[in-house]
Amino acid sequence: MLDAAVRTFGRRGYRAASMEEIAELAGVSKPLVYLYLHSKEELFSACIRREAAALTAAVRAGAGAPGPGVPVERRLWEGLTAFFAHTADHPDGWAVLHRQARTHGEPFAAEVAALREEIVAYVTSLIGAAAREVHRDPGLADGDVAGLAHALVGAAESLADWANATPGVDAREAAATLMRLAWSGLGDLARGEGWSPGAV
């Protein structure tokens, strides 16, 4: 039933999706949908939560647990690959999270913002760990890292759309593109040699 909802919401959008269509696609009657998921809002929230959980689980599973012999570079790379693989495999869920949930008012925007913050926090911790690998006491302020994490997440989101729309670009390719763009800059920052506007 949630499958049908995710598919319909992802393709039609929150407003354009009708409970009728969702119920029909799920092969049940409308009142049944209301029995389990008490309103359109709750149904959409449930979709968001399910897809958010699936996405974070996939990324965490990809990145793996921190450990002595596992460099952060590798964990980041694997996490990104898992992210792109998941979005490619669940285009409707990704559409719900990335496109629909953020555009239809507070109740949902908050839900997806929480997801985003969770991912940003995760990425932030990875960046911090990476920096500590390079330099015992890296000169990275918290505000700086938050911005970097947001930038990384946004870049990943955009690349996900691009990879899905571009034949021949798979998850590894997308992940490599993002690493090529950002890994070097992260290292500079950890060493305190990051770009600064002074030069220009």
Partner DNA sequence: AATGAATGAGCATTCATTCAT
Partner DNA sequence: AATGAATGAATGCTCATTCAT
Contact positions vs DNA (CB under 7 A) = 16-20, 28-32, 34-35, 38-41
- Between CA 102 and CA 7 the distance in angstroms is 17
Q: What are phi and psi of 65, to 5 degrees?
A: -85, 150
Asked if residue 99 binds a second copy (CB under 8 A), the reply is: yes
Complex with DNA: residue 32 or 53, whichever CB lies closer: 32
Complex with a second copy: residue 52 or 174, whichever CB lies closer: 174
Least Å from the CB of residue 101 to DNA: 16
Cα-based angle 95, 99, 104 (whole degrees, multiple of 5): 125
The residue within the footprint of a second copy, chosen from 37, 43, 159, 171 (CB under 8 A), is 159
Number of residues located near a second copy, criterion CB under 8 A? 59
Q: What letters, b where the CB count within 10 A reaches 16 and e where it falls short, cover 24-59?
A: eebeeeeeebeeebeebeebbbbbbebbbeebbebb
Strand runs labelled E in the chain:
none
Complex with DNA: residue 39 or 103, whichever CB lies closer: 39
Query: In the complex, which residues of this chain contact a second copy (CB under 8 A)?
Result: 12-16, 71, 73-74, 77, 99-100, 102-105, 143-144, 146-148, 150-159, 161-162, 166, 168-169, 172-189, 194-197, 199-200
